[in-house]
Amino acid sequence: MNANWSYPTAIRFGAGRIAELAEACVAAGIKKPLLITDKGLAAAPITETALVVMDKAGLGRAIFADVDPNPNEANMAAGIAAYKAGGHDGVVAFGGGSGLDLAKMVALMAHQPDGLTVWELEDIGDWWTRADADAIAPIIAVPTTAGTGSEVGRAGVLTNSETQMKKIIFHPKLLPAIVIADPELTVGMPLHITAGTGMDAFAHCLEAYSSPHYHPMSQGIALEGLRLVKDNLLRVYADPNDIEARGEMMSAAAMGATAFQKGLGAIHSLSHPIGAVHHTHHGATNALFMEAVLAFNRPAIEQRIEAAGAYLGLPTGFDSFVAYVTDLKEALNMPKTFGDLGIEDPDIDRLAKMAITDPSCGGNPVELTEAALRDLYAAHL
């Protein structure tokens, strides 16, 4: 389990490869990196390891960690201020989805022309062309969870604190120049984060696989990603030190994010507003809606899901696949209701109005309406 990959970007995969962080920075043309991570990782031993590697190579040990679990434009502004004050020329995106996404936003916006806001670069049509591509700083990505897959993506998710809506910000140059995927960095994850991020990877693969858009490469990647999650998520949940299973889950996470070039769907459309308003864990929120969305989409995906079940070695039939999802969630103590997410009074009418505007709706195999999304929410009260 040691390899160099070039799809979708250069990936240095293997245990212990965090030691190559400084070399990766130099290869990307970064002489003074700013490591950006979330508040929870700021004082973690793995973060100190990364900073020591940078420092020993003469790259300094600058860190910015004022990043919330669902980062917003205030976090971005603070990160940009730190980036400019330190005279940095690139970022090391370190952590889970929040740290990786915020680092991308800092790299994107630090030196854009005055007057251009990040919201003008939302993943809509060709809005990304509004950005000055030459002003985007190089990015090295170091994931420390196995779910989001942001390390291989060309977008970042940022919450608009005024509207309480999550926005997907896109530019091709947000794809990190080099990824260091070191499964040893994930060993210390709390069990609930291991479970939640694993279900996030599963959701990415499942929705990409179910999307009606034509992208056979993504289709195949999504299917194998599902298998890796099936074979390894419960292994790492039972034994957090199983480094082989940790590595397979890191692969599955990267594969899910690569695959969803083909599209996402109702699971993410439902999940994004809840995360923006109630600040829930994204992977656990995705998990909440899986069976209901599978049932809603059944007329369009039944044969495809049956084929996936056969590939995964499950008993024959669509219902068996759904039963597997239920059993997996049960084993991982995933939420079953809004209450399990700590939300006692969700305004599902408001959430449905937000969900129907989410771009993930476009990848759902059955057309979504506000009423349908409200019904899917109502089923989990």
Listed in order, strand segments (DSSP E) in 82-189 are 90-95, 139-143, 155-160, 165-170, 178-181
Three-state DSSP state, 280: coil
- CA dist., res. 101 & res. 151, Å (int): 9
Helix/strand/coil percentages in the chain, nearest 5: 55, 10, 30
Distance of CA 13 to the CA centre of its chain: 18
Q: Give the residue-averaged pLDDT of 329-356.
A: 97
Asked if residue 168 has pLDDT above 90, the reply is: yes
What digits encode the pLDDT tens for the residues 96-114?
999 999 999 999 999 999 9
Which uninterrupted H or E stretch holds 11? strand 10-13
Q: What is the pLDDT of residues 256-298, one digit of tens each?
A: 999 998 999 999 999 999 999 999 999 999 999 999 999 999 9
Question: Which residue in 318, 256, 258, 315 sits closest to 291, CA to CA?
Answer: 318
- Distance in angstroms (rounded) separating the CA atoms of residues 247 and 244: 5
pLDDT tens for 304-320 read 999 999 999 999 999 99
Q: What is the pLDDT of residue 7?
A: 80
Counting every residue written for the chain, the total comes to 381
Q: Return d(Cα 71, Cα 367) in angstroms, integer.
A: 30
pLDDT at site 3: 73
Q: Find, among 110, 146, 155, the residue nearest to 128 by Cα.
A: 155
**Calpha distance 93→366 (Å, rounded):** 36
Portion of the chain with pLDDT greater than 90, in percent: 97
Give me the chain's average pLDDT, please.
96
Give the gyration radius of the chain's Cα atoms: 20
CA dist 143 and 95 (Å) reads 5
DSSP assignment string, 181-232:
E-GGGGTT--HHHHHHHHHHHHHHHHHHHH--S--HHHHHHHHHHHHHHHHH
pLDDT of residue 43: 95
Count CA atoms closer than 13 A to 265's CA, side-chain side: 29
> Residue 242's closest CA among 196, 193, 189, 290?
189
Distance CA 33, CA 23 (A): 12
**Cα four-point dihedral sign 270, 273, 275, 277:** negative
What pLDDT does 4 receive?
79
Question: How does pLDDT run across 55-105, given as a tens digit for each residue?
Answer: 999 999 999 999 999 999 999 999 999 999 999 999 999 999 999 999 999
Taking the C-alpha atoms of residue 140 and residue 348, their distance in angstroms, rounded to an integer, is: 39
Q: Structure tokens of 110?
A: 């630090």
pTM passes above 0.75: yes
- Residue 2, pLDDT above cutoff 90: no
Any idea what DSSP says for residue 321?
H
* Statement: residue 5 has pLDDT above 80: no
pLDDT, mean of residues 164-182: 96
Main-chain phi, psi angles of 318, to 5 degrees: -60, -45
Do 32 and 89 touch, CB atoms closer than 8 A? yes
Residue-wise pLDDT tens digits, 193-216: 999 999 999 999 999 999 999 999
Give the pLDDT band (50/70/90) at residue 173. Answer: very high
Query: Are the beta carbons of 226 and 253 closer than 8 angstroms?
Result: no
Q: What is the mean pLDDT of residues 21-48?
A: 97
- What's the token pair of residue 18? 């965090």
Name 122's bridge partners: 169
